Amino acid sequence: MKQLLWLAGFLVLLAAGFYLYNSYTRMDNQVEIATSTPQAATVQVTPITHATFVLRWDGITIYNDPTGGAEAFEGQPTADIVLVTDIHSDHLSTSTLVAVVGDNTTLVVPQAVKDLLPANLADKAKVLKNGETLADREFKILALPMYNLPESEDSRHTKGRGNGYVIGKGDYHVYIAGDTAGIPEMRALTGIDMAFIPMNQPFTMGVEEAADAVLAFRPTKVYPYHYRGQDGLADINKFRELVNGGDPNIEVVLANWYPGQ
């Protein structure tokens, strides 16, 4: 009888030990899965106006095409990185750059922009040509072409003068198109999580072309920006309808880029 009781107890202990071992193994696997899954990037977008906006990304602040003077950025964190896409006044404001570019700010520009900067800013500027990259902090910045179609020497935006930008950190990528048509370089993009797309004919592209280009490279999220043209504001609601009609999984964000209009 004692032997039977001893055997039963041994079997209970053995079963309990087996259960605990399996439980530990499952818990360990869960930890492995959790730690191997990349965390989503935290990117906050603050529109200022037209082509000007602020990105706050994992503690780093990026200004794109800062215009409007220091007052336009009141309440915003100091810029860690400033990107300028082109030479026109809705993208390049030297007085604003003087106000927002600090000693620790990285200023990224195409050569045509550097040529127009005062000496103190020109000395600080890092020039990227189309296709070149820059590593800054934990970010990689790639300069892409931005230009009008069909190409011509007298177009408002010629290939090679200005830059669009793809900013990447880890597996997350943000595309800032700049003043451009729906060019092949845009349509060939992959892995874009957030995109900023212009639509103001005759300077960039119309709503239909912009939507068609977005459906070609399918970003996870897209902001129509830079949509004030000669005939007023472009129909961004139509843009959203066209994009989501082609792919309902693309999130179209209609932000307020023109307060009071």
Per-residue pLDDT of the chain (261 residues; tens, 9 = 90+): 444 444 444 444 444 443 333 333 322 322 222 222 344 578 999 999 999 999 999 999 999 999 999 999 999 999 999 999 999 988 999 999 999 999 999 999 999 999 999 999 999 999 999 999 999 999 999 999 999 887 677 777 799 999 999 999 999 999 999 999 999 999 999 999 999 999 988 889 999 999 999 999 999 999 999 999 888 899 999 999 999 999 999 999 999 999 877
For 173, the token pair is: 């990528």
What pLDDT was estimated at residue 260?
A: 74
Tokens representing 20? 């605990």
Query: Contact 203/169 with Cβ under 8 angstroms?
Result: no
Cα(53)–Cα(66) distance, integer angstroms: 7
What's phi and psi for 241, nearest 5 deg?
Answer: -60, -40
- The alpha carbon of 127 is separated from its chain's Cα centroid by a whole number of angstroms, namely 19
Report CA Rg, the chain: 26
Q: Which of 218, 154, 212, 148 lies closest to 183 in space, CA to CA?
A: 148
Specify the pLDDT at position 46.
Answer: 97
| Segment (H or E) for 171 | none
Which residues is 56 bridged to in the sheet? 44, 61
The tally of CA atoms less than 13 A away on the side-chain side of residue 59 is 2
57 φ, ψ to 5°? -135, 105
Residue with tokens 């600090």: 102
Q: Output the pLDDT for position 261.
A: 72
Nearest Cα neighbor of 164 from 147, 146, 149 is 146
User: What was the pLDDT predicted at 20?
Assistant: 35
User: How high is the pLDDT of residue 40?
Assistant: 58
Helix axes 236-246, 207-217, angle to 10 degrees: 30
3-state secondary structure of 179: coil
Is there a contact between 102 and 79 (Cβ–Cβ < 8 Å)? yes
Question: Where do the domains of the chain lie?
Answer: 1-37, 43-252
Kindly report the pTM of this predicted structure.
0.83
Report whether CATH 3.60.15.10 matches the domain 43-252: yes
- Cis amide bond preceding 38, omega within 30: no
Q: What is the DSSP letter of 77?
A: P
In the structure encoding, which two tokens stand for residue 212, read together?
């068609």
